[in-house]
Amino acid sequence: MNTQSQTMPGRWFVGAILLVFVIWLATVLAVSREPAAYGVSVAAGESKFRDHCGACHIVEKGITTHHGPNLYDFGKIAGTRKPGLTAAQYVLESVLDPEAFVAAQNRHGMPRNLASNFTEADLRNIVAYVVSRGANANFEEISKLPIPDTVGVSESRVVRREDMELAERVLRERGGCLQCHALYRNAEYTIFAPALFGVGLSDEALLRESIVDPNKVISPAHRWVNVMLTSGKVESGKIVGQSPERILLVKRGDANDLVQVVIARDEIDEVDGQLEITTAVQSPMPTGLDKLLSEHELDVLIRMIRQLN
Q: How far is the CB of 93 from ligand HEC (least distance, A)?
A: 8
Q: How far is the CB of 267 from ligand HEC (least distance, A)?
A: 24
Nearer to ligand HEC, 265 or 296 (CB): 296
Rounded to whole angstroms, the Cα distance separating 230 from 152 reads 62
Nearer to ligand HEC, 150 or 283 (CB): 283
Give burial (CB, 10 Å; 0-12/13-18/19+) of 28: exposed
Rounded to whole angstroms, the Cα distance separating 190 from 30 reads 53
Nearer to ligand HEC, 144 or 216 (CB): 216
Q: Are 284 and 224 in contact (CB under 8 A)?
A: yes
Q: How far is the CB of 209 from ligand HEC (least distance, A)?
A: 9
Sign of CA dihedral 70, 58, 307, 112: negative
Q: How far is the CB of 288 from ligand HEC (least distance, A)?
A: 10
Q: How far is the CB of 229 from ligand HEC (least distance, A)?
A: 22
Nearer to ligand HEC, 38 or 49 (CB): 49
Nearer to ligand HEC, 29 or 255 (CB): 255
Nearer to ligand HEC, 81 or 124 (CB): 81
Nearer to ligand HEC, 53 or 147 (CB): 53
Q: How far is the CB of 268 from ligand HEC (least distance, A)?
A: 22
Q: How far is the CB of 237 from ligand HEC (least distance, A)?
A: 10
Nearer to ligand HEC, 42 or 110 (CB): 110
Q: If DSSP states are collapsed to H, E and C, what string results for the chain? A: CHHHHHHHHHHHHHHHHHHHHHHHHHHHHHHHHCHHHHCCCHHHHHHHHHHHCCCCCCCCCCCCCCCCCCCCCHHHHHHHHCCCCCHHHHHHHHHHCHHHCCCCCCCCCCCCCHHHHCCHHHHHHHHHHHHCCCCCCCHHHHHHCCCCCCCCCCCCCCCCHHHHHHHHHHHHHHCCHHHCCCCECCHHHCCCCCCCECCCCCCHHHHHHHHHCCCCCCCHHHCCEEEEECCCCEEEEEEEEECCCEEEEEEECCCCCEEEEEEEHHHECEECCEECEEECCCCCCCCCHHHHCCHHHHHHHHHHHHHCC
Q: Provide the binding-site residues for ligand HEC, judged by CB under 6 A.
A: 49, 52-53, 55-57, 67-69, 81, 91, 94-95, 98, 102-103, 106-111, 114, 126, 130, 159, 175-177, 179-181, 192-194, 201, 207, 210-211, 214, 218-219, 222, 252, 256, 283-286, 289, 301, 308
Q: How far is the CB of 81 from ligand HEC (least distance, A)?
A: 5
